[in-house]
Structure 1
Amino acid sequence: MTLNDLAGRARTIGRGFAVTAGAGAAAGLAAAGYGLWEKNQFVLREETLQILPPGRNPFRILHLSDIHFVPGQKKKAAWLESLAGLEPDLVVNTGDNLSHAKAVDPLLAALRPLLEFPGVFVPGSNDYFAPSLKNPASYLLGPSKVKPKPKPIALDWPRLRSGFGMAGWIDLTNRHQSVVLNGMRFDFSGVDDPHLNRERYAGWPRGTINQDSNDHLKVAVIHAPYQRVLDHFTESGADLLLAGHTHGGQLCIPGYGALVSNCDLPTWRAKGLNDWSSNGSTTPVNVSGGIGTSRFAPVRIACKPEAVLLTLTSPS
């Protein structure tokens, strides 16, 4: 082979690498563009659970999670406002409402129609601290062990919590409370964010003697569905667990699903309604795929933002 032959082959190989690199860059740009589009394709996932005592009328729970609101998100705000048209019997908010230091007022404005309905809530880490800029690829390395930096940017969670409370929503941060809704007692128990290791178990509400002979439902409310927390509530007799945090994986592979859950939950459980079993007890768990994203990673792929409408019914 002559020097001219070698030079020609080198030019051919170089052009091949350039074409491959160009195609990869184009694919990356296309994926990013699609992800930016999908993050605003809000959907309502509807589920039905036969867990009410016999003879009870259907009861509808609107489950919101991981709104990650940023000022100026007009499409998200309008969609949140529209959810009031569902007229739920209860709104459950499982945290990570904020993604910006100035998001409290516009978020409360967007949620104002829903605040007219009974509600309960717990916080997530991004209610306490603003998200930080980091390598997006780190999200795909496995379960996150991220802790707040020594000087995290604090968010105004006290004011958001006050806004929820003034509207009548019940704070379940490491506490429990009973509420009568549609003529039936609901026993709630919630925890602070397990992702920050802040959960403390308050047990279930205690009331009058023989109270359990009356119709009631035990509902656990958490942000991050770590297995230790699901085990605890399942073994303590919860009838339903509601959680968020995972974003449904956020960057998913069509036909396969989530690559990560951002906690120790198996990836196939990163979104949806499934049964959780522990020490002989089983409880249905709804993990919301979430409504938003971190403002530093504003894309979703094969994982549309969602709210969940759970209709609880009596056995047929």
Structure 2
Amino acid sequence: MKLLSEPLSTEYLNIEISGLSKSLRNSKIVQMSDLHYDGLLLSEELLAQAINTSNQLQPDLVVLTGDFVTHSPKPIHQLVKRLKSLESRAGIYAVLGNHDLYLPTSKAEITSALTAVGIQVLWNQVAYPLGPELALVGLPDYWSPEFNPASVMRQIDVNTPRIVLSHNPDSAEALKKWRVDLQLSGHTHGGQIVIPGVGSVPHWIYSSRHKIPEFLWPWIPFLKGKWPKVVKNWQWSQGLHWVGTNKLYVNRGLGTFPPGRWYCPPEVTAIALV
């Protein structure tokens, strides 16, 4: 079965960061997310195009924000053969998503495979790939019991700008208590089906739940149970948002779940720091 997708889109952002060192101005970061490499949800052609697009952008840093696989971790070994073609001046960094923790063995197997091709996986860790003037924080998936931003944030000087990689955008609520100059997330696939002028279908359904009798909720996607299955904050399903005083950007991802994408193309994000 071939899923309906759309041509790859490259989204260009200029992100203003207060106190950014002159030496880091116009630094380029490429973000990719939600590959779901399993032989069905991401074509080899789209993956190759995304990698080629990233390389043509000549980034200073590449970040990958989780869900490399869907269920079994086994496809990661084939995926890393493709990802080792990614080029970046200061390295490639990643965090894991909920699907990367699907089985008890998933975290270790996926982390090991990525590390073997030079991709550094951050798990409640901070790194400084662009130098000491900019921290890069990587967090476990928000649903993981090991999600613990406090343990990382207290390691960073309050005057140091920081970018946070966190797969699930709902984590932005928990992160409001700290300075976050830019949070990069994925997870939602942009809602996958977007109605022009209305927004993503999941956001529309969830925001209209008060009009729907609760006894019907179990039969409606995204309303099963008291909380949506994917995220609480569907209003953050894609694009740039302010969460308190922090900026959040949500990438639409590359992989596609059934029934497919409509007005919601897969995405490579090109970010310039200013």
TM normalised by structure 2 equals: 0.77
SS class of match (1:78): helix
Question: In 2, Cα distance between the equivalents of 1:42 and 1:307?
Answer: 7
Whether 1:123 aligns to 2:90 is no
User: Match for 1:289 among 236, 252, 256?
Assistant: 252
**Counterpart in 2 of 1:20?**
none
One-letter amino acid of the structure 2 residue matched with residue 300 of structure 1 = R
Question: In 2, Cα distance between the equivalents of 1:241 and 1:252?
Answer: 23
Instruction: Return 5+ residue gaps in structure 1 as ranges.
Output: 1-31, 130-152
One-letter amino acid of the structure 2 residue matched with residue 94 of structure 1 = T
SS class of match (1:80): helix
Whether 1:217 aligns to 2:190 is no
Q: Retained in 1: the 8 A contact 2:182–2:247?
A: yes
Q: CA RMSD in A?
A: 2.6
Q: Retained in 1: the 8 A contact 2:195–2:201?
A: yes
Distance 1:88 1:180, change over 3 A: same
Task: Kindly provide the CA deviation profile for residues 9-35 of structure 1, in whole angstroms up to 9, marking residues without a partner as x.
Answer: xxxxxxxxxxxxxxxxxxxxxxx99xx
**Counterpart in 2 of 1:300?**
261
Question: In 1, Cα distance between the equivalents of 2:153 and 2:120?
Answer: 15
Moved segments of 4+, more than 6 Å: none
Distance 1:240 1:290, change over 3 A: same
Question: In 2, Cα distance between the equivalents of 1:198 and 1:299?
Answer: 32
Q: Retained in 2: the 8 A contact 1:225–1:245?
A: yes
Question: In 2, Cα distance between the equivalents of 1:303 and 1:172?
Answer: 29
- C-alpha displacement of 1:79: 1.3
SS class of match (1:126): helix
- C-alpha displacement of 1:99: 2.4
Q: Retained in 1: the 8 A contact 2:21–2:133?
A: no
Whether 1:48 aligns to 2:20 is no
User: Match for 1:104 among 76, 80, 105?
Assistant: 76
Distance 1:221 1:238, change over 3 A: same
**Counterpart in 2 of 1:139?**
none
Q: Retained in 2: the 8 A contact 1:127–1:155?
A: no
**1:257-296 aligned within 5 A:** 257-260=199-202, 262-265=230-233, 267-277=234-244, 282-294=245-257
One-letter amino acid of the structure 1 residue matched with residue 252 of structure 2 = G
Whether 1:90 aligns to 2:34 is no
- C-alpha displacement of 1:269: 2.2
**Counterpart in 2 of 1:255?**
197
Q: Retained in 1: the 8 A contact 2:13–2:269?
A: yes
Distance 1:220 1:54, change over 3 A: closer
SS class of match (2:147): coil
One-letter amino acid of the structure 2 residue matched with residue 87 of structure 1 = Q
**Counterpart in 1 of 2:212?**
none
- C-alpha displacement of 1:156: 4.2
SS class of match (2:172): helix
**Counterpart in 1 of 2:115?**
165
User: Match for 2:148 among 189, 196, 200?
Assistant: 200
Question: In 2, Cα distance between the equivalents of 1:116 and 1:160?
Answer: 21
Q: Retained in 1: the 8 A contact 2:239–2:251?
A: yes
- C-alpha displacement of 1:221: 1.2
Distance 1:125 1:231, change over 3 A: closer
Question: In 2, Cα distance between the equivalents of 1:100 and 1:235?
Answer: 33
- C-alpha displacement of 1:68: 0.7
Greater percentage in helix: 1
One-letter amino acid of the structure 2 residue matched with residue 268 of structure 1 = Q
How many pairs does the alignment contain? 240
Question: In 2, Cα distance between the equivalents of 1:76 and 1:298?
Answer: 18
TM normalised by structure 1 equals: 0.68
